[in-house]
Structures are given as structure tokens and as C-alpha cells.
Structure 1
Amino acid sequence: MKNISKVLFLLLMLASTVSYGQKKSKKKGAEPAPQSQPAKAEKKSPFKKYSDIVTSDAVTDEGLFKVHMVGEKYYYEVPFDLLNADMLLVSRISKIAAGLGGGYMNAGSKTNEQVVRWSRVQNNIHLRSISYSNVASDSLPIQLSVSANNYDPILAAFPIEAFNADSTAALIEVSDLFLSDNPALSGLSENMRRQYKVRNLDRKRSFISRMASFSENIEVRHDLTYNATEPPSNFRSGTISMEMSQSMYLLPEVPMQPRIYDQRVGWFTIRQIDYGSEALKSDVKTYIRRWKLEPKDPEAYARGELVEPINPIVYYLDPATPEKWRPYFRQGIEDWQQAFEAAGFKNAIIAKDAPTKEEDPDWSPEDARYSTVRYVASTTRNAVGPSVSDPRSGEIIESDIIWYHNHLRSYRNRYLLETGAANPSARTLDTPEEEIGEMMRRVISHEVGHALGLPHNMKASYAYPTDSLRSASFTQKWGLAATIMDYTRYNYVAQPGDEGVRFVRMLGPYDEYAINWGYRYIPEANSAEDEKPILNKWIAEKAGDPKYLFGGGNSFDPSSQTESVGDDPVKASRYGLANLKIVAPNLVKWTSTPGEGYADLEELYGELIGVWTRFAAHVITNIGGVYEEFKTTDQSGTTYTPIAKSAQIESMKFLNEDVFSTPDWLLQKEILNNIGPSGAVAAVGSMQSRLLSNLLRKDRLERMIENEALNGAEAYKLTTMLSDLRKGLWSELSATKEIDTYRRNLQRAHVEMLAGLMKQDEKNRTDISAAARAELKTIQGMAKSASSRYPSGIFQYHLKDIDALIESKLSEE
């Protein structure tokens, strides 16, 4: 009975519970839910509604991405079909604090260039910096290892805020990317941060001023303000402010077909290590940097007709460029049209004025779509031609030529000093506008050459016989060097009476050759490797002709020197010296301005010493010099050839007679008595000591030893050179002649340098230390013997001091 009662009780309780639950549900108007299966709360979405963020107050710009400004917040709408696409992010300073960077930074200076990709990781969008230094084809297994061992850094991560209406794009807030101190986007290098004692970025004084989206790029301007203990200007503010420009440019989905670099033709390059190569090693692939030029009419191009490119190279002139110089800047740009015609293109490069605000309010020189020639208000004396390129292929995307205002002064000064003897119009501080314009034109051409992909070619000046530079017909046809990319600025060889010669450089035959080699369209080649036989054939056709050689400049090749002209350094420097001996006594007259002081005279006199130093240095390179001519294994001849013994002996004779002797022609009293109370002795001493140090460089002496070991009697021996130098520097002693102040200083320097060579070789003794010690002992003996022949006075004191100095140096070992 007890069990039956318990069952009935449980049934009554269950009925009561169900009845209560049903009544409660009906009261709320909801379907009853079993007590054993309670309703689950709906999970809250981590994303907001698009319309809650991009409100009617948003300012939106459509293009590569949609960009939105909502109050003080900025958003990118990142399309999913552009995730993992390669984009080039270029950072520039668009407005700069005075003095920042020490003169070689300016409004427009590039501070970083990197490939980036946007990617989605769960509920975040990542921005990665991508490197193409190490590569392999995606189809190869080794690509897995290349990817694992070259993991790309994440520059920034952004939570997805919302999706657009059709869920094809993610909305992210990017304000922090441009308002935080991100090194990848900052205008301050680590060195500048240390130099100016930068403490931190002040977020309250930093802001985004512009965000614009175009079909292929997004442009952002943002001001960054840093707290700094020692700013470069406005010191009491303790602040550095700058406006940065960020250009994000969509790179082609299929990169341009690259062209393989050949060191026999000079080009700027990109470099990749290809782990997918069939070579039995990781294969270094080097490609030239060039613009993508393809003919509008391939059939006409194939017939040899000049054809316009689909996309010509266009340079805009900075609106800040003075009106009177604009025609010369345009000429400097479009001078390259002739070179491109050699490659089959007409109107391949064009100069345009920048549009006005009314014509195009969005135009900006920092915009990745535009290449410009920037005119910078700066005391810096220089011009540069940088460019931005696709690291996958070497395709140049855009470039900005920089002309610094005070570069005019450099060219005026050099024009006066190097050509004034033979060129009457150069004998003034007020150089005729047309001639200054011609110089500017050629500087712009030189910098555009860099922006087209061409580096300096210092071997081009050696292509022309020195005496040909005195010929009007030769120089007017061929210029001063085989390329504008040499540092052959002026014709300092031309002598008074050489009528009609050209004094200023211009483009030459090498420029047409290099542009054809780098830019000619080769449709029959389906890969960079397929092009190689054709490119090699073009080089072989010019073999043996010095006009088509390339040399980037080095310390051992006299045919590849900066600022040189002609194929004979001794002859060219003799001509140059003859001209300077005319300029020096006329310098006061040519630089005097009534009512003005002597600041210009002082500046030009200092530069005159510099010009003479360069002339002398060209001759020094002959000593222990080696010609370098790049070759491939299928070519005859050798890459390195020592300079002939006779040329080195002649060079040593020139140095003793014209460089290490006291330059009385330089010591013009009318100049020295007007530019300072003293300093001539120190200036001349410094010049001669630098040149002597250059002559006694250890690497030069080592080449002489090696040349003797390989070529025996045909070589100019180290011991012979040191003996010839000693006989020249100490020639007064044998005839008991007066030893003037300049000479005494140079003799002391000679002893110190020989002792330095001996000390330098202390641990690993070579023939250099032995020869240096022998020279010191010989000079010591000469000084001891000669000192007794001189009467008491400075000459005797000097020689006794030399004796004591050498003794102390020898005893230090």
C-alpha cells in the first residue's frame, strides 16, 4: 500500500508542475517549452552594422579601396578580392622641418619603400611587409621551405568592424596606423632619433589631413609631431613636426618580364636568390630596373618604324620651379627622346607642367601616379634622381628628380674655375642666363638618366682622346664624354685660342646604346633567359670600341675616375693646370662686386684648391693602376690589365714637378691678404698631404708588389717608386737649397706616412714594411749628412728634427 501511495503522490506532483508551466507560458503568449530543454540565448555578433559606422555624416572616397572619414576616425573598406594582392607602399616626407637630415632630405624625400599585402586572419585584417629577396616558383616543393624561412612581418593588425552590404569587403579603422610611431611609416630614422634626442610621438599633436582613393592607389597625408630634446631647428620648441605622405599602389597582377643584368652595360638592379633554379645552388638572379615600354603598334615596330609606347614616361615640373628655368628643365627631360628612338620608340619621355588646383585639385607630387622634377628651396648643392620600382621584376613605377636651389652656385663656380681661362663668358659671378640654363639642362638630363635606370659610367670620359677635346668639330658632335652619366662636367682641357669648342657636357653615343640595350622590345623572347643571346649579341657588336665600355668608378682604374676628361690623365691635368695658372691671378678681378666683401673670393679660392687636387688625384691613380674591363668567358683578353711602366714613370715625374713642389702660382698675395689673416700654409699643406697619403695607400702598394711578381721587369717596382718619390721630395738636400715652409711640412708628412706603413705591417710583415723602413733609414742618413752643410737656422733645425723623428719611429718597434 505504501508503494501505491508513493506512486500516486508523484503523479499528482508531476501533473501540478505541468499545469503551472502551461499557465505561465500562456500568460506570456509563448509556446510552452519543456522544462528539461530551456531556450538558448542567441550568440551576439562581434561585428557592428555597416550603417552604424558609415553614417550619413561620413565623407567617402571611392577607388582602389573605399575610404571613409567619420568624425575624427578613418576607415578602409578592404575588398576581399584584393586580399593577398601585392601593393607598393611608398613613404615620403611632404613637409619637412628646417635642417632635418642635414641638407640631403627635403619635401619629397622617400623614407621607405616596401611591398605590402592585406590578409584576413579570423576576425582581423593584417597588413604584412613582403620581401622578394628569396624566391621560388609556387609550383615547386621548395617554395614551402622558402616561405617558412622568410616569414613576413606583420606591420599592423585591425579588427574587422563591419562588412559592406554584399559582404565583399571588410571595414577596418586605420587611424592608428597613421597616428602611431610605426617605424615602417615614419620619417625619422634611428640615427635621426638619436641625433635629435627624440623622446616620443605626441599623439595629441598628430593628425590625418588627407585620405584619397584612386583607381590604382590610395594617398594619405598625416602630420607627426615628436618631442625632441635637440631638434634641428626651432630649438626652444623641443619639437619636430613633419607631414608624411603614404602612397599605396596596386602592383600588376602579372609582373613585367624582367631583363637580366649584364655588368658590361651599367644599370641599377634588383637582386633575388632563386631557390628553384636548376643550378646546383641557390641562384642569384639580378635584373635591371627600367620602365615598362611596349609599342602601340607592334607590327610597325617590328618593321623598324618609330612607334609611340602604350604608356610613355611623363615628368611633371614642380609648380615651385622658377619660370625662367622651366624651358631648360623640359629640354633636359626630353633630350632622352633621341636615345629612346635608338630603341625604336618616339615620344617615349615627355615633360609637362603640373596642373593647377583648378585643373586638378587632387594632383600632388607625392602621388604614386606622377613622376616629378622637384625644385627644392635648400642651400644643399646637389641634384638627385631616385626612383621607385617593383621588386618582383625591376619595373620602375615612378620617380622624383630633386633639384636643390643652391646647385646653381656650384655650377657657376666650377664653370668659372675650369673654363674661365679659355672661355671669356665664364669670367664672372653673373654667368649669362642662357649658359646657366644649359648647365641646368644637362644636370636634369643626368638625373633623369638615373631615374631611367642608368648609374654613373665613369669610363665614358676615357673614350675620347684628350687632344680631341680642344677641337670644336669633335666636341660639338661628340660632347666631352661618351655619356651624360659620367662626371665630366666641363671641358678643362680646352686652352685659350681654341675657338668654338664645347665647354658643357651633353648626351653621347653610350646613352643611345644603353637605352637600346635596356628598353628595346623583344617580343620573340618569352622569358628573361630567352633574351640573353640577343642582349649578348648587341654587346659583342660593340666590343673593342671604348665609347661603349662601362665602369662605375673605383680607386685603382685611371680610366674610370670621377671628374676626369680624356684618355690621358697626365696630359689632361697638365692642360688643366695651365688653365688654373691663368685663373688664379685673375680671380680677384673676376669675382669683385662693388660694395661687397670678399666672401665669394674666399669660397672660390677654396674650390680652386679642390679643383687642382682632383686633377692631381687623376694622375696618382696611374701609379699602381689597373685597367678594369668587364668580360665574359667567350671574349678574348683579360679583365684586369696593369698600367704600362712608362705611363707610371711619367706620372711620378709629373707629381714631383707639379704636385709636390711648392705651388707658387696658387699663393696669390692679393687673394690671401683679403680672405683671412692666415691659413694659406695650412691649406696648401693639407692639400699636398692628402695627395701624398693617396699615393702611399697600402692597397696601391700591394698592387705594385703583385704586378712585379707577375710581370717582373715590365712592372714599375714599389722600391723604384719610393726612391723616385724620395728624390723628388728631398731634392733640396743634395744641392743644399733652401727648404721652404710648404716643403718642410710635406717632408714631415712623408716621414710620418712611411712610419705609418711600417707600423701597419707590424703583425704581418710584408715587403711594404721592409721598403718603408729602408726609406726611413735612407732619409735619416740624408738629413744627418745635410744638416751640417746648412748654417744654423730653421733649415738645420728641421733636418735635425727629421733625424730625431725617424729615430723615435724606428725605436718604437
Structure 2
Amino acid sequence: MPTLRSSRVTTVLAAASLAVCAVARPLAAQAAPFGGKTAGHERLDGFLPLHHDARTGKVLLELPGDSTRALLLTTLATGLGSNPVGLDRGMSGENYVVRFDRSGEKVLAVLENWQYRSSDTANAAHQRSVAEAFPPSIVAALPLVGTEGGRLLVDATDFFVRDWMDVPRTLERAGQGSYAVARDRSGINRALTRNFPRNTEVDINLTFASGGRPGPIVERITPDGRAFTLREHLSLVALPDGAYRPREWDPRVGYFGIRFHDFAQPIQRPLQQAWIGRHRLLRGPDGRIANPIVYYVDPGIPEPVKTATMQGVKWWEEAFDKAGLTGGFRVEWLPAGADPMDARYNVVQWENRNERGWSVGGSLGDPRTGEILKAMARMDSHRARTDYNLYAGLMGAEAAAADTAFVLSRVRQVSAHEVGHTLGLGHNYIASTYERGSVMDYPAPRVRLTPAGEIDISQAYDVGPGEYDVWAIRWGYGIFPAASEKDSLRAIVREGLQKGFLYLSDGDARPEFASDPRVNLWDDAATPEEFWRHQTGVRRVAMARFGERVVRPGDPLALLQERFAPVYFMHRFALNSLAKTIGGMEYASAMRGDGQQATRAVAADRQRRALALLVGGLRPRELAIPDTVRALLGPNASAVTPDVELFRSRTRPTFDALGAARTLAQMTIDATLQRERAARLVQQHAFDPRQLSLAEAIDSIAAGTRWPTGAASTTTASAEQAMRFVAQRALLDRLIALAADSDAAPEVRAMAELKLGELGAAAGRAARGLPNGGRIEARAHYRSLATDAEQWLTSREAPKPSPALVAPPGDPFGQP
């Protein structure tokens, strides 16, 4: 998963990438410059010389003139260790162009505003008009300590020792209390403050102290939640030269990048322009790549994951070679003594957290051009364990070699995926429709049933880059003469479209209202229907075989709950993709003349088949948990598994089988009758009466859950009937939610109310029709449904039924 800012990397500093740190020298051995103002300081020569006073902790910065410009890159060197909070080791911050301007007896640190600009370099007046319309940010006034030969010496201590990552606001958003920097416990970390010919690296220890009660996560993770210390890191980097040529973003190829307003654009063009983020790559006179992109893998990753990580990152060596950029990408181990925060290193780091979380591909770059300067891929240490849980739930826990192979194949894939982000590539969630087309998709493991009914994981994860990845690297990193570059890029796009290389990303897949059934996270088939059949078939077999074999001998049986969750909810991603078929619309990032159809409504017969599959998933046998499994799911699972990974329960300490079934039923019905999805059903049917209507969808779910049409006849309790009650309750609650939703389309609310009236009346008749000697549970159930429906219809007051329990985390490697 990428960081929220653009994912990018650099080779600008490649010539100095292994340069030895300049020797620090006490000035006592030299003639003290600046009139002796640096006497007793330790001098660190390099791009912008530093003078450190170990006694006071002050850092003086030497500037070459009255106005000095550089890139300022910010990173979080150490983490809080909590995925929900999100302050991770190696997290990339912002990138700026900073200008140090003398103003009397101080020097102002100015962050230039490159979000608004004029590309008309011939019209200085127009450039001035833009510059004066949008303000820069002056973030510090550095006292001028001395001058010598045109050079300035400033006290930069306060500029460096500040919270550049906005830690307190992150903690506040996560509900972790109020914190502020404690200056008396903060200062320069000399050991990792270094200087090199083109980059100055400053490391800072920042202690954050609570102004009130510490947040529960901080209190749990830290020795004393009232204060904790993080390291932030600043890199001052020489501005890259003007030889880099930005590349315009194309919505049909999945790259991150920078966006800005260019007020010099002609009126026929949009003000907002976009350039992709990418490394600089050059050919030498001999035609070979002159500055290969080099990545460094953290040797602190434990084996065998470390070797698998290296192997996965190397997939990009293959991708660049196949893209005609032979030798353009290389991966090595991080040298001993190197600081991963150093701007000269593109790093793949190990991310330890208190709980499982995302792996992230982030980077820092030049905000003027989109050129990537430093890559930072962070690999979550829990991922292998989470993948193992799925393996054990499906296959059992006895085969050590097979489970390790399964997990490491996933490690390779995710390592390549995150490094892809740092190369500038975004998620491509439609690539699974053209046979594992890209490592930038989120792949579910390929799990199938053999003709004999056995679970087959032999092709769980793919090996190597996909065809789309090679094509995207050709487009993004291909080196062309300036005169023919645009034509070459258009030809590459045309070739990709002819091969069926489509690109749709997070905004197309993640929202609850997403409409294109081809665009999904964690899928593995050409169509949602095919994926559903594979997943539900494997799920049935795995549930039937689930038992003690999924934990190793001597391990607590309480682990069974953690292993059962991914099995019971195994088809949840197939469910999400199938639900997008309902009221669905396929679309493309079409451009005039490229032959793509902009939109296409999903055919009516396909929508009805998808609805039938979803309704089939509400059958009692699909919701129920086998007795053999329930008997094994004992109390105290939280003693060995974090609560978030477990099923919730209203029957504590016992396992809540009805609660789990209700969670799944609600998940299914809420996805099928999602608010915007329901509105699309209304609209599609209005313009084409052959299409599936909202009324038909609701009626189909009611029929599939055996909603009573007259007096209920059930007189004896049964597990099957309990499952039907669970699904019926889920349907009624969803209709109430739609009717009460002021953001829903009025036509949706009207239909929800109509169906509430019909189903509520039917439930009332069923309750009244049961004889006194009949099943009391059925009378209670149907009376409750009827009462809740009536409450809304008569008073417009939404009842407050018990909600479905929260499911364990959906994304296999994320958080809820």
C-alpha cells in the first residue's frame, strides 16, 4: 500500500551515493573562522557545513550567501509501533524547496509555494503575479551569528529541533490524548547527524509529553505513556540540475505524481497540470544506462523472509530489462553503518508494530518536477504470520515446508508491490481481470478445488512482474529524444490498450459505492462470478475440515478462533466484488480517439445472476458454523490473540455462532443494498425497464431469506430457522437504515419505506398466526420485526435494534 503522498525514488545523488562522510573536526586545531564564533564547536564539512556545540546542544549552519536554496526532505526515523496510530519507523513526510534569505540580523527560512506557478518563463511580470497571489511559508527566523567572505553563520537549532511530522495532531486524530514537544528533553542526535558533498543530514531526538491523560494505545506501548521519544530526520539536499525532463501524467497508466496550477496554460487547457513521479534515468554515449537506480534492503529483516524480500525486489530488475532498460534497476544489501534515513539511499525497511498492519511504499522528491529523490518501502513484520493463519486454516498446521513456501511466495509479491509504489506506480485493481497482469494489484491467493474436491494452493501467488508492469515501466521510464517523446509515449499507450492493459485504482475500488465489478481488492479471477464460485467452494471444504489440525501439537486450542476467522469470512472480498455488479457500471479512463468506451451498464441478466449468488450466500447452510467447529471454539482466545483478530460475542465467554452469522448476513445485505448502489438500480430501471429494479432486488432477498407471506407455521426450534431469522433481521435493519438516511436518493427512501410496510405487515401476520402452543422464539422474532417497521412508518423514529457485531479485520493484512 502506498503512502498518501506520491510514491517516488531518486538517482540524483547516485554519484555520491557511497561517498564517505566528511570527517568532523574540532575547530581548536584550526584558525577559528567567523571571528571565533565557532570556537569549541565540532565542524561537519559537506553540502551546508554544520558546527555542533556538544556542551549547549546548539547547531550552527553555514550558508554560502545571502540567499540559499535547497530541497528539504522530512522523515520519521523511529516509530511509535502502532498501526492504528500510524507513526511508523521510516515514514516519509513532506518535501519542500526551502530558501534561506537574509533579513537584517536574521535569516528567514522560507518554504516556497510550488502548488501555483507560471510556466511562462519569458513573462517575468506574469510569474510575479502568480507568486504574489499565493503565499509562501516563513517557518523560522534564524539568528545571524556571524559573516565571513560572503558566507553566513546562523543558529539553526530551533529550525532543526521542531516537530516536522506533526506528531501531536496525528495522536489527537487517533484519540491518543494531547501531546507537545518537551524542549528540555529534545535535541540534536549527533551520532546520525552527518554531512556529504550534496546532502546534509540532521537527526533530532524529540520527546513528546502529555498535557493530560495519555491515550490507551500510547500507554500500552510505551514504558510511561506521559512521555515518549521519537527521532525525526531532515535532509537538506542540493537542488537537482535542470536536465531532468518531467513527464505528463496519463490517466490510462498508473503513476503517482505531483499536481499544480499553471496559470500560463492556454484557455483550452486545464489550469491543473500533473507530472508523474519517477527516478531520473539516463543513457550514456554507449547506449547503456548511465545511472542505474539502486535499492538497498535492510539486513535487519529475519531469515528466511530477508532472502524472499530481496528476491521480490529483484523482480524490478527483470521488469526494467524486459522494458528495454537493461541494467536500469539494481538491488543490494544496505551497507554496514549506513543510515536508512540518508537521502542517498533508496531503502526497503522492516516495520515492527504492536499489531499487524500495512506495508507501505513511500518516497520523497522534488516538488517542482516530480523527480523522485529517496525511496522508502516499509515491510510489515506481521504479514507473514497473517498469511500463515490463512494457510493453516485451509491446509492444517503440520506441513512446515509447504506453509513456509506459501508465506514466502507472498513475501516476494508484497516486496515487489511496495517497491513498485516507490518507483511511482499506483495500485492497479483491475489487473486481475487479465490474468495476474500486475504486482500492483492486491492478489488473493489462488486457491482452487481439484476435481477430487481437494484444496489446491500450488499456484497461490505469481512469480515475477506482470505484463502490465513491464509496459508501465516502458512508458514511465523509457528514454526518448525530446522531439519524439510524446509520439513514443502515445504509441506505447496504444499498444497497451490493444493488449487489454487497463488501469483503475483506489478511488474506483475502495468506496462502498464503487460500481465497476472488475475493480477489486484481493480478487483472483477474470469475473466476480468466477471468483465467488472458487472462494465459496473452497470455504465449504475448509469449514467442513476445520479442527485441531489447524494448530500445531502443543499450541493452545484458543488459536482456533484466529485461524477460523479468515476461513469463515474467506469469500468476503468475492462478496464485495459481486455486489458491485448490482446496479453496476463498467468504465474506463477513456480519452478522445483511443477507442475505449467510457461507460457501460452491467447487463440485466448478469445483474440478476449475481443477485441470485448473493442471496444464495444467505442460506442457512452458508451462514451456519458446523457443530464440530463450535465445540472447539472455547473461551480465553484473547489470551493468545489480539482482540481485534477475534469474532465479537454477545454470549461471552462462549463463541457467538448466531452473532457471527448475523455479521456475515449483514455484510451481504448491506453491500447489495448500499445507498448509491440502490440509487443506481432506480436510475437504470427508469431508463431501461428490462434492468433489475430496487424493488426486485429487495423482493429477491426477502424470498431468499424465506420471509413469511402468511401465518408462520414453525412450531419447533431449529438451527436452520435461527439462521433464517438472522438474515431476516439483517434485511429489515438495512431497509430501516435506507429509509432513515437523509443522504439517500428520495426514490430509494420511498421504496425502502414501501417494502418496510409490506415486510412489517407480513411479519405481524406471522406473529399473530402462531398458535399459543407454537414456538415462542418465532413469535418474539416476527413481533420484533413488525414493531420496528411500524415504529418508523408511524413516527419516523428509527428504532435502535442491536447492530451486527463487527467482523475481524477485512483486509488480510490491514485493520478494520
TM-score by length of structure 2 reads 0.82
1:159 maps to: 143
Is 1:69 the equivalent of 2:52? yes
C-alpha displacement of 1:725: 1.9
Post-superposition shift, 1:317? 1.8
Residue 807 of structure 2 corresponds to none
Measure, in 2, the Cα distance between the counterparts of 1:335 and 1:509: 12
Partner Cα separation in structure 1 for residue 271 and residue 442 of structure 2: 34
The correspondence for 1:749, drawn from 727, 730, 736, is 730
Q: Quote the offset at 1:217 in angstroms.
A: 0.8
Match of 1:514 in 2: 472
State the secondary structure of the residue aligned to 1:799.
helix
Q: 2:362 aligns with which of 386, 399, 413?
A: 386
Q: Distance in 2 between matches of 1:550 and 1:482?
A: 13
Structure 1 282/620 Cα, relative in aligned 2: closer, same or farther at 3 Å? closer
1:457 aligns with 2:428: yes
TM-aligned CA deviation for residue 744 of structure 1: 1.3
- Match of residue 376 from structure 1: 351
Contact 2:164/2:232 (8 A) holds in 1: no
Match of 1:532 among 470, 480, 486: 486
Structure 1 regions of 5+ residues with no counterpart?
1-47, 301-306, 358-362, 465-480
Identify the range of structure 1 (695-704 vs 207-216) with the bigger mean alpha-carbon deviation: 207-216
Q: Do the aligned residues in 1 keep the contact of 2:708 with 2:763 (CA within 8 Å)?
A: no
Find the counterpart in structure 2 of residue 711 from structure 1: 688
**Partner in structure 2 of residue 145 of structure 1:** 129
Corresponding residue SS for 2:555: coil
Cα distance between partner residues in 2 of 1:566 and 1:427: 29
Measure, in 2, the Cα distance between the counterparts of 1:190 and 1:731.
47
Per-residue CA deviation, residues 480-508 of structure 1 (Å, 9 max, x unaligned), is x1111111131034535698952113421
Distance 1:575 1:151 in 2: 56
Q: 1:277 to 1:488 in 2, by over 3 A?
A: same
Provide the residue aligned with 1:79 in structure 2: 64
Q: Specify which of 642, 645, 670 is matched with residue 693 of structure 1.
A: 670
Q: Distance in 2 between matches of 1:501 and 1:176?
A: 58
Aligned equivalent of 1:778, options 740, 758, 762: 758
Counterpart for residue 6 of structure 1:
none
Deviation at 1:374? 0.8
CA distance in 1, matches of 2:596, 2:382: 46
Identity percentage of aligned residues: 22
- Opposite residue 172 of structure 1, the aligned amino acid is V
Matches of 1:748 and 1:508 in 2, distance apart? 45
Q: Which amino acid aligns with 2:244?
A: M
Cα displacement (A) at 1:67: 1.2
2:646 maps to none
User: In the superposition, relative to structure 1, how do residues 338 and 157 fare at CA in structure 2: closer, same or farther (>3 Å)?
Assistant: same
Is the 1:588–1:671 Cα contact (8 Å) retained in structure 2?
Answer: no
8 Å CA contact retained: 2:428, 2:505: yes
Measured after TM superposition, the shift of residue 447 of structure 1 is 0.6
Deviation at 1:664, TM superposition (A): 5.5
How do 1:107-506 residues align onto structure 2 when only pairs under 5 Å count? 107-137=89-119, 138-140=121-123, 141-164=125-148, 167-179=149-161, 182-184=162-164, 187-189=167-169, 191-192=171-172, 195-198=175-178, 200-210=180-190, 211-228=193-210, 229-231=212-214, 232-233=218-219, 234=222, 236=224, 238-254=226-242, 256-279=244-267, 283-297=271-285, 300=287, 307=288, 309-357=289-337, 363-378=338-353, 379-417=355-393, 420=394, 432-464=403-435, 481-495=436-450, 496=453, 501-506=458-463
- If asked which structure has higher relative contact order (CA below 8 Å, sep 6+), I would say 2
Partner of 1:37: none
Relative to structure 1, the CA distance from residue 680 to residue 221 in structure 2 (aligned partners, 3 Å threshold; closer, same or farther) is same
Does the aligned pair in 1 maintain the 2:92–2:364 contact within 8 Å?
Answer: no
Change (3 A) 1:337 1:764: closer
Could you tell me which amino acid in structure 2 is paired with residue 484 of structure 1? V
Q: Deviations over 1:761-793 (max 9, x none)?
A: 5x9973223322322232234334444554422
TM-superposed CA distance for 1:247, in Å, is 1.3
Instruction: Determine the structure 2 residue equivalent to 1:655.
Output: 614
Is the CA contact (8 Å cut-off) linking 1:662 and 1:743 kept in structure 2?
A: no
Residues 709 and 142 (structure 1 numbering): CA distance in 2 closer, same or farther, change over 3 Å?
farther
Match of 2:543 among 584, 590, 594: 584
Give the match for residue 622 of structure 1. 581
Distance in 2, Cα, partners of 1:768 & 1:187: 43
Q: Tell me, yes or no, if structure 1 residue 702 matches structure 2 residue 679.
A: yes
| Conserved 8 A contact 1:225-1:241 | yes
- AA aligned opposite 1:405: S
Give me the whole-angstrom Cα distance separating, in 2, the residues matched to 1:756 and 1:201: 44
**How much has 1:534 moved relative to structure 2?**
2.9
Residues of 2 paired with 1:711 and 1:426: CA distance? 53
Compared CA separation, residues 253 and 220, structure 1 to 2 (3 A)? same
* 1:366 Cα deviation after fit: 0.6
User: Partner of 1:114: helix, strand, or coil?
Assistant: strand
> What is the CA-CA distance between 1:559 and the residue it aligns to?
0.3
- Alignment size in residue pairs: 718
Q: 1:429 to 1:613 in 2, by over 3 A?
A: farther
Q: Deviations over 1:19-64 (max 9, x none)?
A: xxxxxxxxxxxxxxxxxxxxxxxxxxxxx97132122x33212111
Q: 1:780 to 1:375 in 2, by over 3 A?
A: closer
Larger Rg over CA atoms: 1
1:759 and 1:118, CA in 2 relative to 1: closer, same or farther beyond 3 A? same
1:678 matched to 2:655? The reply is: yes
Q: Distance in 1 between matches of 2:165 and 2:740?
A: 48
* Letter of the structure 2 residue corresponding to residue 538 of structure 1: I
Contact 2:679 2:745 in 1 (8 A): no
Cα shift readout 1:675-728 (whole Å, capped 9, x = no counterpart): 341311112101211221121112001111221233332x22222222222221
Q: 1:697 to 1:670 in 2, by over 3 A?
A: closer
Deviation at 1:652, TM superposition (A): 1.3
Aligned-partner residue type, residue 620 of structure 1: A
- Change in 2 beyond 3 A, CA 1:771/1:201: closer
Deviates more, 1:207-216 or 1:109-118: 109-118
